[in-house]
């Protein structure tokens, strides 16, 4: 049995300059990673929130009334409800189509499909 030993590396400040001033590399790296993750997270929230939720919600609300606040909570709720219903319908359609494809594959391969047991019988 091989046992691996993992040791954590400690980032030491690098002395620079003639007065021995130190640059805290660990803190700088942590701030860079934190800023990058914040930027990427904000990008995804903005894209998903604006494009996929608010735009769809606004388009649906606009069909029913001419006076609607694009930044309002009604638009967001309608957009979220649209996506919940869309994914629900998509899931139900997938389940039904997958069943039909199983039957079709069974019959194409020369088998007999038992609908009560949902199995393919060859022979």
Across the strands, what pairs with 116? none
| Domain boundaries of the chain, sorted by first residue | 21-121
Distance separating alpha carbons of residues 21 and 6, to the nearest angstrom: 31
- Contact assessment for residue 103 and residue 94, using Cβ atoms and an 8 Å cutoff: no
Inter-residue contact 93 to 83 (CB < 8 Å): no
Q: Where does 5-108 have alpha helices with state H?
A: 25-46, 55-64, 73-108
- pLDDT-derived band at 78, boundaries 50, 70, 90: very high
Question: Which is more confidently placed, 109 or 21?
Answer: 109
Q: What is the pLDDT of residue 67?
A: 85
pLDDT of residue 84: 96
The predicted pLDDT at position 9 comes to 53
pLDDT in tens, 84-123: 999 999 999 999 899 889 899 989 999 888 888 888 898 7
Q: How far is CA 19 from CA 12, 15, 22, 27, 42, in A?
A: 17, 9, 9, 21, 41
Percent above pLDDT 70 for the chain: 81
Burial of 61 (0-12, 13-18, 19+ CB in 10 A): buried
- Residue 68 tokens read as 């609607």
- H/E element holding 16? strand 14-16
Determine the average pLDDT of the residues in 22-36: 84
Residue 25 has pLDDT above 60, yes or no: yes
């Amino acid at each position: 049995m091989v046992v691996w030993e993992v040791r954590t590396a400690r980032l030491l400040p690098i002395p620079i300059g003639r007065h021995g001033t130190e640059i805290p590399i660990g803190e700088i790296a942590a701030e860079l990673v934190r800023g990058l993750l914040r930027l990427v997270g904000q990008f995804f929230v903005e894209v998903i929130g604006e494009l996929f939720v608010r735009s769809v919600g606004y388009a649906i609300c606009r069909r029913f009334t001419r006076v609607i606040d694009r930044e309002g909570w009604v638009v967001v709720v309608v957009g979220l409800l649209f996506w919940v219903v869309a994914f629900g319908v998509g899931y139900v359609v997938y389940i039904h189509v997958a069943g039909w494809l199983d039957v079709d594959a069974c019959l194409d391969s020369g088998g007999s499909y038992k609908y009560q047991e949902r199995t393919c019988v060859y022979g």
